[in-house]
Amino acid sequence: MRFTLIALVACAATLSGCIGGGLSQAELRPNQFAPAPAKAGVVTGIEGGGLVNGTLGTSLSRLQRRLAMEAEYRALESTPPGQDVSWRDAASGRAGMVRAAQPYRVGSQDCRQYTHTIEVDGTDRQARGTACRNVDGSWTLLG
């Protein structure tokens, strides 16, 4: 009985070391601390329209801006650092790519720097910015 108890405690301690290590500051995922949206159907995105809403997206159609915004959101929300999130408008051939850096914490918010590159008439245009995640799951582009 005593041996079984000791073996059980040793096994639990070993497993807790695997589980209880936690994430270091460098491994934080942007959505790790945010609560789930309060209501079904809550639309999340980038407040203010993201990088593509500035001068980067002036030559894009409404559809292309939507595709670009969705790519920015996916890159910020759930894509590993340095991995590209691409978008393409098949009708026009216009395309872009978003790459987010390692997330970091500022106070109680998760933030990420990111770069959005779009191809317009064979020329790459690029913008860089930083966004922080809000409690409701949306992101705010920092000015």
**Is 34 a member of any domain?**
no
Answer for the pair 31, 137: CB distance below 8 angstroms, yes or no: yes
Contact 51, 129 (CB under 8 A): yes
Asked if residue 105 is part of any domain, the answer here is yes
Any domain includes 1: no
Residue 92 lies in a domain: yes
The total domain count for the chain is 1
Instruction: Find all residues with CB under 8 Å of 128, minimum gap 6, and list them.
Output: 51, 113, 114, 115, 116
Q: How many CB atoms lie within 10 A of CB 44?
A: 16
Per-residue pLDDT of the chain (143 residues; tens, 9 = 90+): 544 444 444 444 444 444 333 334 344 454 544 444 433 333 467 887 888 888 888 889 999 999 999 999 999 999 999 999 999 999 988 999 999 999 999 998 999 999 999 988 788 999 999 999 998 889 999 87
Question: Has residue 3 been placed in a domain?
Answer: no
Are 23 and 103 within 8 A, CB to CB?
Answer: no
Would residue 94 count as lying in a domain? yes
- What digits encode the pLDDT tens for the residues 70-110? 999 999 999 999 999 999 999 988 999 999 999 999 998 99
CA torsion, points 29, 36, 136, 69, in degrees to nearest 10?
60
Residue-number span of the structural domain to which 107 is assigned: 45-143
Any domain includes 114:
yes
- Check residue 22 and give left, alpha or beta (phi > 0: left; psi -120 to 50: alpha): left
Tell me, yes or no, whether 20 lies in a domain: no
